Amino acid sequence: MNIVVCVKYVPDAQADRTFSVDNTTDRAGVDGLLSELDEYAVEEALKIAEANDGEVTILTIGPDRAADALKKALQMGAHRAVHVNDAAIHGSDAIATSLVLAKAIQKLDPQPDLVLTGMASTDGTMGVVPTMLAERLGLPAVTYASELTVADGKVSVRRDGDLASQTIEATLPALVSVTDQINEPRYPSFKGIMAAKKKPVDTWTLADLGVDAELVGLTAAWTTVESFSARPPRQKGQIVTDEGDGGSKLAVFLGEHKFL
- Alpha-carbon distance of 138 to 12, in angstroms, equals 33
- The tens digit of pLDDT for each residue in 47-82 reads 999 999 999 999 999 999 999 999 999 999 999 999
pLDDT of residue 18: 73
Confidence band for 124, pLDDT divided at 50, 70 and 90: confident
pLDDT of residue 238: 76
- The tens digit of pLDDT for each residue in 19-56 reads 777 878 777 767 889 999 999 999 999 999 999 999 99
Do residues 45 and 3 touch, judged by C-beta distance below 8 A? yes
pLDDT of residue 45: 98
CA distances from residue 114 to 16, 66, 148, 197, 198 in whole angstroms, order as listed: 36, 23, 12, 25, 25
Q: What are phi and psi of 121, to 5 degrees?
A: -90, 150
Say which amino acid occupies 68.
D
- Which has more pLDDT, 159 or 21? 159
Chain centre distance of CA 103: 18
Question: Got the DSSP string for 154-182?
Answer: EEEEEEE-SS-EEEEEEESSEEEEE-TTS
pLDDT of residue 102: 98
Q: What domains are there in the chain, each with its CATH number?
A: 2-220 (3.40.50.620)
Q: Average of pLDDT values for 172-198?
A: 97
Residue 145 has pLDDT above 90, yes or no: yes
Q: Average of pLDDT values for 81-94?
A: 96
Confidence band for 247, pLDDT divided at 50, 70 and 90: confident
Residue 240 has pLDDT above 90, yes or no: no
pLDDT of residue 126: 86
Residue 209 has pLDDT above 80, yes or no: yes
| Strands (DSSP E) found in 46-200 | 55-61, 80-84, 114-118, 141-145, 147-151, 154-160, 165-171, 174-178
Residue 111 has pLDDT above 90, yes or no: yes
pLDDT of residue 19: 78
